[in-house]
A and B are shown apart, each in its own frame.
Chain A
Amino acid sequence: MVNTQKTRLMTKCAIYEKHAGKEDIYMSKYFKADYVRWNIVKTIIYVTIGYLALWGMYFLYNLNEYIEQAFMIDYKSYGMKMLGFYIALLAIYIGICWISYSAKYRRSRARLAKYYKVLGKINKLNEKDERLKDLEDY
């Protein structure tokens, strides 16, 4: 016979696993610091790619000016300026990532704790069912 309570709990678990659970279970493989660091590394890579693409577009946009003033540009200060922008952008993104991924990890752990609690309940119900089955067989 179908155990309605167990079915309800299992449905809850399945819905969680389908949506937020996927990422939460993946995140549970990491410690918090490792998870945040790994995401910061990914962010650095993405920001670098994005910045280079942006700089490329900006360069093409001002190509005529650069050609005209090719011998008058102070390349050192220009390079420092570009680097300064890059570091500033990186600092902003790293800060945002640190805060947001830490909060994300915290929320994920809270959800996962609830999920394990429900799994424990299901386990208990399974044990109860098995005991009843044994009793009936006896």
Chain B
Amino acid sequence: MTQLLEIRTKLIEIYQKTETYVVIAFKLLFYFLAFNALRKTIHYNARLSGFAVVLCLTVISAFLPPSITVAVMVFYIALQLYSASPLIAATVLVIALILFCFFLRFASSYGNAVIAMPLLMGMKIPYVLPICLGLFSTPITVIPVCVGVFAYYFLKGITANMITVEQVAAADNPFGFYISVLDSVVKNEAMLASMIVFSLVIVAVYIVRNIKMDYSFEISVAVGAGTSMIGFIIMMLRYDIGVGVFSVCLFSVISGLIAVAVNFIYRPLFYAGTEQVQFEDDYYYYYVKAVPKIKVAGSKINVRHVVTRRTSTMDEDFGDELDDVDSGLAFNSDNALSGAKGRVLAGEPDEDEDWDELSDMEYKAYRSTRASDRTNGLKTAKKPSSAVKESDGPVSARRSERRIVKGNTGSARQTAAERNGAAVRKNSAAGSDARGTQAAEAGRRPLGGAKHGSAADVRGASDKRNASKKHASSDRYSGGYARRSESSEDDF
């Protein structure tokens, strides 16, 4: 389960990073499948049935609102049919107008459901859509689903009656096709039965998922799958709907599983941790049931090498790296230069970023001097130099506290280093001149304490919010990481 949750978290992270492109890619794929299915079903006009036209329409539709895309599809169908029979093309437009006036204008935002329904019915797996709509939406989605079912049977009726353009052109009575196409819809009891079953599925799933009980979402999916299974089996006994009992059962179960998977990604709930509380105010007595959502951060380990002041040689640094590799820690390739960088930065402190190197007392003293100078019209006091910092006791102590390993913790707030046996670089000399370094496995060592000097800081993702303002300046210097010892204290 934890692994699944981690995969979910990773998927969400990936989606969040690439949301714009993923959404467009899905839209392109979806509309391409829809237009391609239309092209294969109704191909009375050779030009409009070309692959390039379909591709153009797909790209245009991907950037249009769903309701407009539905209109584009209607016009595409009408233009295709115009080559065969202008009367049928006009009929399509009039039917679309009627559907819009009576139904679709109340559910104009569900245009994608209208497109998806005939597409899925063509693939013989329409059961998943009503379940998902019942699970995540409202019963108003009955309208687009029924319109989608109507569109499927209407197109089926057209293709069944108007086989070729030549056949239509050769016919004496153009009204004959009009009547037979409408008959295929008006007298189609299977269509009505499908609409009823899908509507029942949506309403049943919606009602069950709103019942105040544990696992209501999962139960509602099972109810939806069961309803569609029973409904279509009953339909099969009466009408020829072109599918067998086995396929109905199989695809209903698969649809249910897909809906459960979607629900798991959308809202994983931890029913074991349900809280039921009662309280009152002046107007009401409240019975509250709160089900926590499961949130697991992905096991992401980043080790950030922080500048340290060292006198060690390059060879020693490379030795440290080898230790890191042995202990399974990913390391930065320019780690070997960290000692040199440290010396440079420490020797030439940046105007804005070296305040973390100062003790609080020093900082306050500097601020007060600067303020008094300002009021007296004097030049700003000079910032204490790094040489002063080095010899200062509190600075050393503060530096020695900094133990930096960045990681992303699991639900139990276990550090990434503890879980993965990552190594923490530590400075053996605490605020003194000795600056030998060595690597050690963080999971086997105590992480707090001021005894050790540091090169890395361990921090969980949840600790971000706990990083205190007090250490904001030191965060800047150390690459934006808070000290673990403090942040873990703020956790509940």
Contacts and interface: CB of A to CB of B under 8 A. Distances in A.
Interface of A: 46-47, 49-50, 53-54, 56-57, 60-61, 63-64, 100
B246 interface: no
B178 A50 contact: no
Interface residues of B, number: 15
A60 B175 contact: yes
B98 A54 contact: yes
Contact of B98 (A50, A60, A61): A50
Contacts of B182: 57, 61
B171 to A, nearest CB: 15
Closest 7 CB pairs of A and B: A50-B101, A46-B101, A50-B102, A53-B98, A50-B98, A53-B94, A53-B97
A64 B176 CA distance: 11
15 contacts: A46-B102, A47-B101, A49-B101, A50-B100, A50-B101, A50-B102, A53-B94, A53-B97, A54-B98, A56-B94, A57-B91, A57-B94, A57-B95, A61-B178, A61-B179
Nearest to A62: B179
Nearest to B178: A60
Given A49-B101, A61-B186, 19 more contacts: A46-B101, A46-B102, A46-B105, A47-B101, A47-B102, A49-B97, A50-B98, A50-B101, A50-B102, A53-B94, A53-B97, A53-B98, A54-B98, A56-B94, A57-B91, A57-B94, A61-B178, A61-B179, A61-B182
Contact of A53 (B101, B106, B186): B101
Contacts of A63: 175
Interface in B53-103: 91, 94-95, 97-98, 100-102
Nearest to B140: A100
Contacts of B91: 57
A54 B102 CA distance: 10
B4 to A, nearest CB: 29
Contacts of A64: 175
A22 B112 CA distance: 21
A43 B289 CA distance: 41
Main secondary structure of the interface of A (DSSP, over half): helix
Contacts of B100: 50
A49 B99 CA distance: 11
Interface string B169-197: 00000010011001000100000000000
A100 B186 CA distance: 30
A100 B139 CA distance: 13
B8 to A, nearest CB: 23
B96 to A, nearest CB: 10
A56 B87 CA distance: 13
Contacts of A60: 175, 178
A56 to B, nearest CB: 7
A50 B91 CA distance: 13
Contacts of A57: 91, 94-95, 98, 182
Contacts of A49: 97, 101
Nearest to B101: A50
A50 B97 contact: yes
A78 B279 CA distance: 64
A65 to B, nearest CB: 11
B156 to A, nearest CB: 19
Contacts of A56: 94
A46 B94 CA distance: 13
Interface string B97-122: 11011100110000000000000000
Nearest to A61: B182
B436 to A, nearest CB: 39
A17 to B, nearest CB: 17
A100 B105 CA distance: 13
A69 B301 CA distance: 84
A90 to B, nearest CB: 12
A138 to B, nearest CB: 11
A44 to B, nearest CB: 11
A102 to B, nearest CB: 15
A56 B178 CA distance: 13
Contacts of A46: 101-102, 105
Contacts of B178: 60-61
Contacts of A54: 98
A53 B93 CA distance: 10
Nearest to B102: A50
A132 B264 CA distance: 47
Contacts of A50: 97-98, 100-102
A91 B111 CA distance: 27
Chain A CB within 10 A, most for which of B102, B105, B175, B186: B102
B376 to A, nearest CB: 16
A5 B182 CA distance: 60
Nearest to A89: B102
Nearest to A46: B101
Contacts of B106: 100
Contacts of B186: 61
Interface in B147-186: 175, 178-179, 182, 186
A64 B179 CA distance: 11
Contacts of B175: 60, 63-64
B140 to A, nearest CB: 9
